[in-house]
Amino acid sequence: MTIKQGDHVGTLTLPEIKGGDFNLEAYSGKRYLLGFFRFASCPFCNMRVHELVEKHGKLPEDFKIVAIFDSPLDNLQRFSSGHNAPFPILADANNIYYKKFGVRHSVFGMTLGMVKRFPTMLNAMFAKGYIPWRIKGSMTTMPLDLLVDENGIIQAAYSGKDEGDHMPFEQILAFAGKN
Tens of pLDDT, residues 56-90 = 999 999 999 999 999 999 989 988 888 899 999 99
The correct CATH number of 13-176 out of 2.60.40.1260, 3.40.30.10, 3.30.2130.10, 2.60.40.10 is 3.40.30.10
pLDDT tens for 152-166 read 999 999 998 988 889
DSSP letter for 23, please. E
The mean pLDDT of 107-121, rounded to a whole number, is 68
Domain boundaries, the chain: 13-176
Q: Which secondary structure element, helix H or strand E, spans residue 100, and what is its range?
A: helix 96-100
Using CA atoms, how far residue 43 sits from 16, 28, 39, 77, 157, in Å, is 20, 31, 9, 15, 23
